[in-house]
Structure formats: structure tokens, C-alpha cells
Amino acid sequence: MATAFHNLSDYDAQSVPTAEPMKFGIVVSEWNSHITGALLQGAINTLKKHGAKDENILVKTVPGSFELTFGAAQMMENCELDGIIILGCVIKGDTPHFDYVCMGVTQGITHLNATCDIPVIYGLITTNTMEQAEDRCGGKLGNKGDECAITAIKMIDFIWSLKK
């Protein structure tokens, strides 16, 4: 559903399992840090709201959005986590760089999800303008970080339900 028709921070709290026993990794891009910092704060606040403990939320930064896939893969390999959230922001410019970065991250995260045992939640904002990015990191359209945190909790619960 298009974000213009749905606030990213709206969800049915009753439908969210407890995050208390879950361990989360968050990889956040330093590029466009005023946007990614707000996404990160939204994700952490939402995880905690649903019971996640501070010691079960590992946050690491990477220089840019293209490095998010590598960061997520390294977290999988080196940390005991139940799920990973990637957070980044790419704003369209005058060159095709936007397309390459967005496509590379999307394909990389899709590959990790198809081949690995824990979910990697896609929190890359891809917008045409800075205003659109600001609207999606706590502005009038909510916070994509909130949505990613809820998705992580639900996907971890989904996997655990299959292993019962």
C-alpha cells in the first residue's frame, strides 16, 4: 500500500507479539543521518514499547546505504540475533546513482532473506525529495522505523511459530 494512504506508525498494537525474548540487530546508514537517526529512534522506541530489552538491541552504523547489505550479513555471521533491521535513506539526484544504490540494496536484502535463517527487514527510504524523506521519518506520514520494528517482531514470531 502506498505510504500516501497509510501512516507508517499506525498499527494494531494488540496484534504484535511480545518482543521481550527477542534479540535484534539494527544496521543504520550514516548518510542522511538526520533522517536515518530519526528512523533509528523510531525503531528502538517501538521495539522497547513491545518489550525488547536494551541489551537485546545491537545497533551498528555503516557509511552509506549501499553498505547496509554487508553490515546485515556480518551481523548474521558474528552475532546471535533473531532478526535484523536495515535503515537508510537515498534521495534521488541528477544521476543514475540513486537507481544503482536502491537496486543493489534491494537485491542484496532480498538475497539475504531468501538464503539465511533470520529475517532482514527492509527499512530503506527511497524518495525524490528531502521533504518526502522527512515525512517518512516521523513527519506527517509517520516513521518507517516504527513499521520496521513491528515487521521484525512479527517475522521473528512467524519463524518461531514454525519451529514449535
Q: Which of 6, 34, 50, 97 is catalytic?
A: 97
Whether the CB-CB separation of 8 and 142 falls below 8 Å is answered with: yes
User: Which residue type occupies 88?
Assistant: G
34 catalytic per annotation = no
Contacts 24+ apart (CB under 8 A), 102-109: 102/126, 104/66, 104/69, 105/65, 105/66, 105/68, 105/69, 108/68, 108/69, 108/70, 109/68, 109/69, 109/72
Helix axes 68-78, 97-115, angle to 10 degrees: 20
CA distances from 37 to 2, 82, 134, 135 (A): 23, 22, 11, 14
Catalytic residues: 97
